[in-house]
Amino acid sequence: MRQLRLGMVGGGEGAFIGAVHRIAARIDGRFSLLAGALSSDPARARSSADALGLARSYGSFEEMARAEAAHPEGIEAVAIVTPNHMHYPIARAFLENGIHVICDKPLTATLAQAEELAEVAAASEALFVLTHTYAGYPMIREARRLVREGAIGKVRLVHAEYVQDWLAKAGTSRQAEWRADPARSGAGGAIADIGSHAAHLVRYVSHLPIESVSAELSTFVPGRLVDDNAQVLMRLGNARGMLWATQVASGYENDIRLRVIGDAGSLEWRHADPNRLRFGGLGAPETILTRGGAGFQGAARVPAGHPEGYLEAFASIYSDAADAILAGKMPKHLPGIQDGVDGMRFIEACIGSSRANGVWTQV
């Protein structure tokens, strides 16, 4: 299959998620990284591009979007891995030049930007993919299928947790610094940074929209300008849900759990044990579903019993993006612009609810 020409904005030396995107894009060999504006600092952008052996390096994303669109062998897609406030202008520049966008979450810094970007995406020939990593896990996709096919009956309860401790103290790393600055992270802290992933998992697996929320966002670290702990009650049609996103849970590195409970059974998934999915039928003994089990229909790269993890899940998002670009159409299971708008609606509804002392707020 033909490799797609990829560019990257952000992800220079010392950055976190850009390197993960590069590995994910390489795993299935569907992309070739050719060009980048890898840093906000032009000198660092150049040295980072040299270190990676990129064919073309730019000092700014504006210059890159224009030059690549005009280049006979220009990039077909761009990965955006900058802090949140830059997603909107960068995505807009590439979409307007007809270049497909693979952007990290949350979609933008504000809901207003997200809605504008959705209009730009709708007017563009180019596709928009949002890297909600956890939607790439085989057992998450299996859970989504099982719920859709009625394996647990009608969904009653959804419970999602995304629990970390890396911001339990005031952080000095560049990643901690911009995440605590509302001008760069947006108004949300933990609710945006990891709550957006948890809310996406809720919607993705339950197939239910989050209609309204009652939220309490807290800030435990003195002087921090954004929330670092979010507790949210959710109404999803007749179903009810709870979401807890925290970055101050000392002793928890990165614990993600999802429970979806229907009137006939339940499913439970944990990021720490991602190749197993607990299924409990009402009145039946619990069972553990794996990639090797009868009926498994999800994607897998290695034989059952051999663990797959974070990088493979990320790679599935990239490979699905490659399929979508070649087909010219987004498949339903691949997170896109509407998932990003829904995520921003959720974040802003939680912030609004919390400011109003937990009043139920429409999403």
Ligand X SMILES: NC(=O)c1ccc[n+]([C@@H]2O[C@H](COP(=O)([O-])OP(=O)(O)OC[C@H]3O[C@@H](n4cnc5c(N)ncnc54)[C@H](O)[C@@H]3O)[C@@H](O)[C@H]2O)c1
Binding site for ligand X (CB under 6 A): 9-12, 15-18, 37, 39-40, 61, 81-84, 86, 104-105, 131, 133, 174-175, 178, 193
Q: How far is the CB of 286 from ligand X (least distance, A)?
A: 29
Are 68 and 8 in contact, with CB atoms under 8 Å apart? no
CB of 173 to ligand X, least distance (A): 8
Q: Which is nearer to ligand X, 200 or 235 (CB)?
A: 200
* Nearer of residues 5 and 105 to ligand X, judged by Cβ: 105
Name the minimum Å distance from CB 341 to ligand X: 16
Least gap, CB of 260 to ligand X (angstroms): 21
Q: Which is nearer to ligand X, 39 or 275 (CB)?
A: 39
Toward ligand X, which CB reaches closer, 54 or 81? 81
Residue 253 C-beta: closest distance to ligand X, Å: 14
- As a dihedral over the C-alpha atoms of residue 338, residue 343, residue 347, residue 349, rounded to 10 degrees, the angle is 50
**CB of 171 vs ligand X, minimal distance in Å:** 11
Smallest distance, ligand X to C-beta of residue 9, A? 5
Question: Which lies closer to ligand X via its Cβ, residue 37 or residue 52?
Answer: 37
Cβ nearer to ligand X, comparing 154 with 174: 174
How many alpha carbons lie under 13 Å from residue 192 in its C-beta half-sphere?
29
Q: What count of other Cβ atoms lies within 10 Å of the Cβ of residue 181? A: 16
Give min distance, CB of 21 to ligand X, in A: 9
Bridging pattern class, strands 239-246 and 229-236: antiparallel
Which residue's beta carbon is nearest to the bound ligand X?
A: 10
Query: Which residues are within 8 A (CB) of 318 and not within 5 positions of it... i.e. 6 or more apart?
Result: 21, 24, 25, 27, 28, 30, 31, 102
> Side by side, which strands form the sheet with 128-130?
56-57, 31-37, 4-10, 77-81, 100-103, 128-130
Q: In angstroms, rounded to a whole number, what is the distance separating the alpha carbons of residues 97 and 100? A: 9
Residue type, 72: P
Which two three-digit tokens encode residue 240?
A: 């009810």
Given the structure tokens 């952000």, which residue do they identify?
Answer: 10
CA dist 102 → 107, 126, 138, 207, 350 (Å) = 11, 11, 20, 23, 26
Nearest residue (CB) to ligand X, 61 versus 279? 61
By C-beta, is 128 or 279 nearer to ligand X? 128
* Cβ neighbours around 47 below 10 Å, total: 16
